[in-house]
Structure 1
Amino acid sequence: MTNSATLHTLENGVRVVCDPMPGLETVALSVVAGRGAAYEDPARSGWSHLLEHMVFKGAGPRSSRDIVEVIEAQGGSINAATGYERTSFQVRALKGGLDLGMAVLADLVLRPTLDEADLAREKQVVAQEIAEAADAPDDYVFDLVQAAAWGEHPLARPILGTVDSVNAATVEGLSHWRGALYAADRLIVSATGAVEVDEVLDLARREFGSMPAAPGVPNFAVPAFVGGRKSQARKLEQVQLVFMLPAVSARQDDYFALRIFAEALGGGMSSRLFQEAREKRGLAYNIDAYADTYADAGALGVYAGCAAGDAAETAKICAEQIVGLAGKIEDAELARAKAQLKAHMFMAREQPLSRAEQAAGQALMFDRLYTPGELAAAVDAVTPDHLRRLGQVILGSGKAASAILGAKAALKAGEAFERTLIG
């Protein structure tokens, strides 16, 4: 398998990915800043997300309405997302829409209006978003487990921030934060679909080539997995459980072993958790496992929703299956997990926007692009010994994080998980 994508670097450090997909009649463009909420201090918690909102209120010569209408008038769509380690601005368009898409996204990133009245209104909008997240138990429980896992590091804080920290933002402060967050040294322009290399490079130079080359905000200290329990009593029909254990980062050798471990543990209907907790015992309708990885840290997570009376037993099963998988995996189970992981990766590559984001992530993390063949080979190279070695990392620290949200009767499920896992 080959890779049509190429990676280029402009004189100011902005990197450009061009990935033509023959036969497509559409374009996907992502402008990705390799910084996000993990770079915020407590006083600016939520500012990266607030800034993502604010740039859409007006940028360059366009009003908020103009930004959307000019893209949609050509059959396109525009969106954005803020994470812990990246902020993405995205356009999907018909063939020939790259020029306009590049110009609009450049305005958002480089020339937002940042008006005082807009900021006051958007603070109210974000406050409602924070309230909405708190009212969604299956979202809020993940904020709780992040807080339990990562101690004082910014990863422990919600991406949305708090009402107080968001309300503290000023136009001047956001303007300064924008310059640091979207600096050239961590900016990726990634285009896929009906695109050509020369056009992508010419447009990227036109829109981003004059950015100053000064570096942005520095990295925080490497995250340290602290562990602990966070629980909150609520009158809910279903208890929300999340358990998290320390693992490896995206840059470490056992990254693909972690992805396979998560697949085998709870990645599909044939996984250990699904079969044991749902099919055999009927304890949970939703139960799965996931790999949560960053540049310098990572974790294995498990999510389940169950009845309050079943929470401790569900927690015990989760711990038992993690311990069991850390000790041994059958050949057929390993082969199945590898096939599932490759399917997830390659199906995402068939979607232009996912492909653009995937390439941007590789450029940010490794300053290179990986071919599908390289990715497949890395997955296939994982052996049972690799998984046992990873299992020692997962279990060896003696640390675990848990978040329980629901009836009081279920709040000791975290203790049951740790007791079964660690003793």
Structure 2
Amino acid sequence: MESEAQSGWSHFLEHLVFKGAGDMGAREIVERIEATGGSINAATGYERTSFDVRGVDGALGLSMQVLSDLVLRPTLDPVEIEREKDVVAQEIAEAFDTPDDHVFEMAQATAFFDQSLGRPILGSVESLKPVTREMISQWRAALYSPDRMVVSISGGVDEDEFLKLAEQWFGSAVASPAPEVVPAEFIGGEARMARKIEQANLVFQMVGPDAKSADMPVARLFTEILGGGMASRLFQSAREERGLAYAIDAYMEPYDDIGLIGIYAGAAAERSQELAQVCAEQVVELATGGPTEAELQRAKAVMAAGLWMADESAANRSARHATQALVYGAPVASETLVDSLEAVTAADMLRFGKELLEDGRTASAVLGPKSAIKAAKAFASTIKSHSS
């Protein structure tokens, strides 16, 4: 929903609410939580901002009050707004100075050119410079509307107490009209940046399913087999067999209306083009030949184990359930997710792979020495040669 002029405002707002909220100043916000042994944090992604508190038994009331003040009653002091612009400018500079962070921004901007989903989460110095208290207050009202907000909790809590506190601290919030959201479109292309650093950083992306797609379990298993661990095809072929990369993995990003399947690799610049071709060839081989039965069972076991182990963390359960409530309207049991993975067949994988190659669109980003720049085209051209 961020226009180019509003790029980074959601992340900026996340910073600002910690500068003062309710009757608390910046220091008191964290001191109240930490005085009980708890911790408080926040994060902004491409589609959502989250605030979380971890605390011991007895701290629920305080935690709910602090979170409510942060999202509904921030001070948004004009002096703090100007000061925080400098802080975020440093964060933007730090991200640029971190090649394996910046290359993902390059890939995202290429995949979703000139769209909200393609703009950096941090924004830019230019987009933050004109922000005033009135502008960011209006942005907060649009963003933190109660009808688009979930309060999620997990751990040693009493449900009745939680519901009463949720009504007390969030029940009087006034909803605001939902901003218009234009569905994202994967554009694709190639992004290159030559910099005098030692290693090349490579990101290759293709179109994946959106978060509500029935193909989510298939895509997750495809990604796991492709590059999810040390037994994956990418790790074995690129690193173990050829020594082309010191770091390589595949990942999946499902958004509300589109998704990405991507590969990240860090490598010596002079071998980057060969590495890009190997990455594309592994995608093609898996897409056209499908997985072996052993690969499919390994991927299912790894992903199921990951779900069960994540359930052992109250923080993970709370965060996952909040996201699921926003996306699907209700939390989804881990048993249901595991069952959906177990139901995937080799035939499903082949169908998915065929559709992936038929689409053929890619977004390639390369950041590193000049000798690595051709790697972007190498991945795209190899995939394109197998697309319809």
TM-score bracket relative to the smaller structure: over 0.9
Structure 2 counterpart of 1:238: 199
CA distance in 1 between counterparts of 2:209 and 2:355 reads: 8
Match of 2:142 among 170, 180, 195: 180
Structure 2 counterpart of 1:34: none
For 1:223-372, list aligned pairs within 5 A: 223-327=184-288, 328-372=290-334
Task: Please report the RMSD computed on the Cα atoms of aligned residues, expressed in angstroms.
Answer: 0.9
**Greater strand share, 1 or 2?**
1
Structure 1 counterpart of 2:112: 150
Q: Which amino acid aligns with 2:302?
A: Q
Q: Which amino acid aligns with 1:305?
A: G
Q: Deviations over 1:277-329 (max 9, x none)?
A: 01111111100000111011001100000001110110001000000111211
Residue 393 of structure 1 deviates from its aligned partner by 2.7
Deviates more, 1:106-115 or 1:410-419: 410-419
TM-score in terms of structure 1 length: 0.90
Structure 2 counterpart of 1:30: none
Structure 1 counterpart of 2:82: 120
1:190 alignment partner, SS class: coil
CA distance in 2 between counterparts of 1:97 and 1:382 reads: 43
Q: Does the CA-based 8 Å contact 1:329-1:384 persist in structure 2? A: yes
Q: Does the CA-based 8 Å contact 1:308-1:406 persist in structure 2? A: yes
Say whether residues 1:103 and 2:62 are aligned partners: no
Say whether residues 1:222 and 2:183 are aligned partners: yes
Q: Does the CA-based 8 Å contact 1:247-1:393 persist in structure 2? A: no
For 1:187-198, list aligned pairs within 5 A: 187-198=149-160
Deviates more, 1:191-200 or 1:136-145: 191-200
CA distance in 2 between counterparts of 1:216 and 1:71 reads: 32
CA distance in 1 between counterparts of 2:163 and 2:102 reads: 41
Q: Deviations over 1:369-406 (max 9, x none)?
A: 22221111001011112112221232112211100000
Structure 2 counterpart of 1:401: 363
Q: Deviations over 1:148-183 (max 9, x none)?
A: 111221111100001100112111000000000000
Q: Deviations over 1:46-73 (max 9, x none)?
A: 0000000000000000000000101000
CA distance in 2 between counterparts of 1:346 and 1:365 reads: 21
Residue 353 of structure 1 deviates from its aligned partner by 1.1
Point out 4+ residue stretches in structure 1 off by more than 6 angstroms. Answer: none
Residue 121 of structure 1 deviates from its aligned partner by 0.5
Q: Which amino acid aligns with 1:192?
A: S
Deviates more, 1:382-391 or 1:43-52: 382-391
Q: Does the CA-based 8 Å contact 1:138-1:240 persist in structure 2? A: yes
Q: Which amino acid aligns with 1:248?
A: P
Q: Which amino acid aligns with 2:350?
A: R
Structure 2 counterpart of 1:76: 38
1:214 alignment partner, SS class: coil
CA distance in 2 between counterparts of 1:214 and 1:123 reads: 26
CA distance in 2 between counterparts of 1:165 and 1:258 reads: 35
Q: Which amino acid aligns with 2:81?
A: L
Q: Does the CA-based 8 Å contact 1:241-1:303 persist in structure 2? A: yes
Structure 2 counterpart of 1:139: 101
Q: Does the CA-based 8 Å contact 2:230-2:236 persist in structure 1? A: yes
Q: Which amino acid aligns with 1:222?
A: P
CA distance in 1 between counterparts of 2:350 and 2:327 reads: 26
Task: Give me the identity figure in percent.
Answer: 52
Say whether residues 1:45 and 2:11 are aligned partners: no
Match of 1:202 among 150, 154, 164: 164
2:206 alignment partner, SS class: strand
Which gives a bigger RCO, structure 1 or 2 (Cα 8 Å, sep 6+)? 1
Q: Does the CA-based 8 Å contact 1:185-1:216 persist in structure 2? A: no
Q: Does the CA-based 8 Å contact 1:76-1:91 persist in structure 2? A: yes
CA distance in 2 between counterparts of 1:140 and 1:285 reads: 18
CA distance in 2 between counterparts of 1:238 and 1:136 reads: 12
Q: Which amino acid aligns with 2:273?
A: A
TM-score in terms of structure 2 length: 0.98
Residue 334 of structure 1 deviates from its aligned partner by 0.4
Q: Does the CA-based 8 Å contact 2:14-2:42 persist in structure 1? A: yes
CA distance in 2 between counterparts of 1:191 and 1:232 reads: 43
Structure 1 counterpart of 2:173: 211
Q: Which amino acid aligns with 1:88?
A: S
Q: Does the CA-based 8 Å contact 2:206-2:360 persist in structure 1? A: no
